Amino acid sequence: MSQFPGAGPIPPLPSPTDIALSCEDDTLAQALVRENQSLRDQIAHHTQLMQLLTHQLATPLTTLSGSVHLLAEPELDTEQQHEFLTMVQQQIRRLQELLNDLVALQDLETGKLDTQPVSFCLKQLVLETMQDFAPYPAKYHFATEIPDIWGDRWQVSQVLTNLFSNAIKYSPDGHYIEIGATLAQPGWVEVWVKDHGLGIPAADQPHLFQRFYRVKHRDRQHITGTGLGLSLCKLLVENQGGQLSFESTHGQGSRFYFTLPTVDHADR
C-alpha cells in the first residue's frame, strides 16, 4: 500500500486503561482518556472515509480503463466506437462530479467556501435554477406572501439543483416533481422538493445524510451517484442558518424540505 511521502505508519495509541493507570491525577487522567478516545474516533472516521473514497474512485476507473481498452480494438464499427466513447464520457463526468462535491465539502468544513449573503427573492431563484432542467415537468406551489431571503444565492441554488436532480434521478417513470415554498414560522421560509418516485426504505433513512451513504436496494441498483449530494446540501443549508430534513415512504416518493431565514429576521 502506498503512503504519503515522509509519513510513517500511525503508531498505536495507548489504551484508555494504560493512560488512567499511569496518571496519578484523576482529573488529568480523565481528560487524557477523553482526548485519546476522540483521536481514536477521528482516525476510525478518516479510515472509513478513505475506504469509501477508494471504492468511489475504483468503479469509474475500472469502467474507463475497460472502455479505452476496447476502443483500441481495430475492428470496431462506428456504432460500437460511439457506444464506448459515450461510456468514457459518462465516467469522466462521474469523476468530475465526485471531485466537485469533495472540494465543496472540504471548503465548507474548513471555512474556505466564500459565503456572500444577500437579500434575494426565493421564487425568482427557484425559477432561474429550474431553467437548467427544462422541459422536465415541474409543478410550483409558492405561497402568496413570501418575504425575501437572507443567504448566499449560489449556495441555495446548489441545494435546489441537487434536490431536484435527485428527485428526477430517483423517479425513473418520469413522474412530475413539485417545488414549493411557504412561511413556516415568523422569520423562516420552508422550501420543499417533492417527488412521486422510488422513495427511501425506512432502514436507510437514519443514514441518509452520512457522507458516501447510498441506498443499496435493488430498485436503484443501476442508478449511479457519489453518495455525497445530500451531505453537501445539509452543510450548505446549515451554512445559511437553516435546517434540511425529509419524509419518505418507500415505493411512494419523498419530500425534502429546508428552512432559510427571511431578510428581516436574519442574524447578521
Positions in the binding site for ligand ADP (CB under 6 A): 166-167, 170, 195, 197-200, 208, 213-215, 220, 225-230, 254
DSSP state of 203: G
> What is the nearest approach in angstroms of ligand ADP to the Cβ of residue 92?
16
User: Please, which residue, 199 or 242, has the CB nearer to ligand ADP?
Assistant: 199
User: Please, which residue, 157 or 166, has the CB nearer to ligand ADP?
Assistant: 166
Tell me the one-letter amino acid at 246.
Answer: F
User: Please, which residue, 30 or 243, has the CB nearer to ligand ADP?
Assistant: 243
> What is the nearest approach in angstroms of ligand ADP to the Cβ of residue 155?
16
> What is the nearest approach in angstroms of ligand ADP to the Cβ of residue 237?
13
> What is the nearest approach in angstroms of ligand ADP to the Cβ of residue 96?
13
Residue position matching grid coordinates 424540505: 257
The CB-nearest residue to ligand ADP is 225
> What is the nearest approach in angstroms of ligand ADP to the Cβ of residue 132?
17
User: Please, which residue, 83 or 247, has the CB nearer to ligand ADP?
Assistant: 247
Residue position matching grid coordinates 509519513: 7
Tell me the C-alpha distance between 167 and 255, whole Å. Answer: 9
User: Please, which residue, 43 or 203, has the CB nearer to ligand ADP?
Assistant: 203
Q: Which residues have a Cβ under 8 Å from the Cβ of 134 and sit 6 or more positions away?
A: none
> What is the nearest approach in angstroms of ligand ADP to the Cβ of residue 246?
8
213 and 207 in contact (C-beta within 8 Å)? yes
How many helices (DSSP H) and strands (DSSP E) are in the chain?
A: 6, 7
User: Please, which residue, 122 or 177, has the CB nearer to ligand ADP?
Assistant: 177
Residues 73/76/78/82 CA torsion (nearest 10 deg) = -50
Q: How many CB atoms lie within 10 A of CB 219?
A: 15
Q: Is 245 exposed, middle or buried (0-12, 13-18, 19+ CB in 10 A)?
A: middle
